[in-house]
Structure 1
Amino acid sequence: MNGLYLGTDPPITEVIFVADKTKAPPHYYVISKAEDDTACEADLWKDSFFNFNRNYRYLCYSRSENASQASGMIIADVCLVNEKDKIPTNYAAVEWTYDSQRNVCGMILFEGEKCLRRKRLCVRRVHRSVAIDAVCNIVLLSKSKAPPVGYFCAGDIEGFLLCYKFCAMYSRDRNSLVTSGLPYPINSSLISNLYPRVPQQNSQKTMSSEENHTSAKTSLRTAILSPLQSQSGVEGVPFELHAKLKARLDLTSALKDLPPLPDSSNYLEAMCDYSFSFEKAMI
């Protein structure tokens, strides 16, 4: 396996749909049941029960390196979009069922069986040597309306909540790489590609620059999954009041310098006593 993997589950390399769950290719796991209700069939087409030619759709994923479209590619992210919406940049839509393919003269032709109705599942593929994190698990929920702990929600498909989980591919700090228990050697040259090339004049200054770059570029989900030297977004920002609040604060301070009012009620009544005799005479 090329690249350092730090998660508990291997990263997913490919995602497909099948119309017949018995025809899933080798090394693929078929999500045939809902995660929160094993009695619920995870059919993502939900055709009419009385339809004679009833259609089925099952989501499958593989962690095998041989399943990826290109060597070393993994699934870095997934999302759901409406059928008429534009596919996000750097994403590819999973349009057709895998078991509807026909190979004619070395060319793959499709019979036209769409994977989903009204929705499209899009995936972002990257090479594992440059991946910060990757999708390592996908589940479908039929009852719960919130993703499980550690999972993210991609959206709803025919009443099922599609949730996915990330695994960290690289540590956020080059000096804190998790190396214990790994069955393969660490390729330091691949790890160095994640960091900018800085002149090696001062090793202390170079390491600080790399840490700042990594902290700025690492996504929020990696910070949640891997609490290695995480930094809050407001850390280092000076605390300053708005100009209007400063003016009001200055006015409040000035009012404090005024002499206090006498406590005697008789004094206040004497100061404010007015007979209004002139006004009454004018009426």
Structure 2
Amino acid sequence: MMKSSTSHQKNILNTVICVLPDNRPVTSLQLVEEFEKCPINFQPINKTYDQDQDADLWREKMLIGKRTTRYLCQSKSEGLPGYIVETLKIINEKEIIPGGFSQLTRTADTEQKAWRKKQLVYRLTKKSSAKQAVTDIILCSRMRQAPDGFTLAGDINGILVCFKKSPVPHRPSPSIPLRNINDLEKTIENLKLQALFQSQDHEYVQLSSSYNLSPKRAAPKPFMYSTGTMYVHTDVEGVPFLLNPGLKQYNTHVSKHHFSSIGSTTVNGS
């Protein structure tokens, strides 16, 4: 009872998702044996587009025992980063895979053989260089041609596999404001000037003719020293002066004779 309720809720969710428009590119594909065990971030295609019937791709009649089933799952967020599914193709099970295409060899939930008689292959391409990508996949059980807006990939055991391709949107480069451009030009010019100065090997600076060599203010006058106040140190400093005792007996005589001679001297014409 619980399993039936969960399955019903997933079917409702899948129906709502199919109704809502989603033009994002398909990025990855998986195949499962039970659509309830679809990998996370994948959506199972378990109902046909035209009849709303079981979209099993194995479609082998079993009278006794468990029925084998295969369900295709698609994702728009998982897979190889930066790559999207560009196109789909149906080939025979033992046919050589075309160049550039990938295949699903095992079921994601039970690791069982993926296909019987026919198989689906897909081609990945870089999103940055892609012009168009697969944006939706539908399965049809009654229609013999793809509905409007879809491309027929082929037939797998009576089920038509159709896909829609849409242009891949590419975001334009953000425009740079004029003010930022002017600031960038000034920065580049400053870098050029710095590189020019650093590349010069001169050890001097070349001055322009308008450069003023005179100082902006007069130099201060030098401090003047007076030699009269300078303290002079000699080798006889601190030694007392004494007259030789042998000269003392001549001291009085010499002095008297000296002064008497000076006093008797006359100047002519006075």
**Please, what TM-score do these two structures have when normalized by structure 1?**
0.52
Residue type at the aligned position of 1:34: T
Q: Secondary structure at the match of 2:109?
A: helix
Residue type at the aligned position of 1:88: P
Aligned residues: 155
Q: Secondary structure at the match of 1:15?
A: strand
Q: Secondary structure at the match of 1:22?
A: helix
More strand by share: 1
Q: Secondary structure at the match of 1:59?
A: strand
Identity of aligned residues (%): 33
Equivalent position of 1:86 in the other structure: 96
Cα distance in structure 1, aligned partners of 2:40 and 2:29:
13
Cα distance in structure 2, aligned partners of 1:135 and 1:96:
22
Q: Unaligned stretches of 5+ in structure 2? A: 1-20, 175-270
Shift of 1:136: 0.4
Q: Deviations over 1:128-181 (max 9, x none)?
A: 11111100000000111010101110111111110001010158xxxxxxxxxx
Shift of 1:46: 1.5
Structure showing greater Rg: 2
Cα distance in structure 2, aligned partners of 1:145 and 1:115:
24
CA RMSD of aligned residues (A): 2.0
**Please, what TM-score do these two structures have when normalized by structure 2?**
0.54
Pair 1:54-2:67 in alignment: yes
Judge which range, 48-57 or 123-132, deviates more: 48-57
C-alpha change, 1:187 and 1:91, in structure 2 (3 Å) is: farther
8 Å contact from structure 2 (residues 146, 152) kept in 1: yes
Equivalent in 13, 35, 39 of residue 25 of structure 1:
39
C-alpha change, 1:186 and 1:17, in structure 2 (3 Å) is: same
Equivalent position of 2:81 in the other structure: 71
Cα distance in structure 1, aligned partners of 2:60 and 2:122:
25
Q: Secondary structure at the match of 2:87?
A: strand
Q: Secondary structure at the match of 1:33?
A: coil
Equivalent position of 2:136 in the other structure: 137
Q: Secondary structure at the match of 2:147?
A: coil
Shift of 1:9: 0.9
8 Å contact from structure 1 (residues 97, 115) kept in 2: yes
After superposition, residues 153-164 of structure 1 pair within 5 angstroms as: 153-164=152-163
Cα distance in structure 2, aligned partners of 1:24 and 1:44:
15
After superposition, residues 237-248 of structure 1 pair within 5 angstroms as: none
Q: More relative contact order in 1 or in 2 (CA 8 Å, sep 6+)?
A: 1
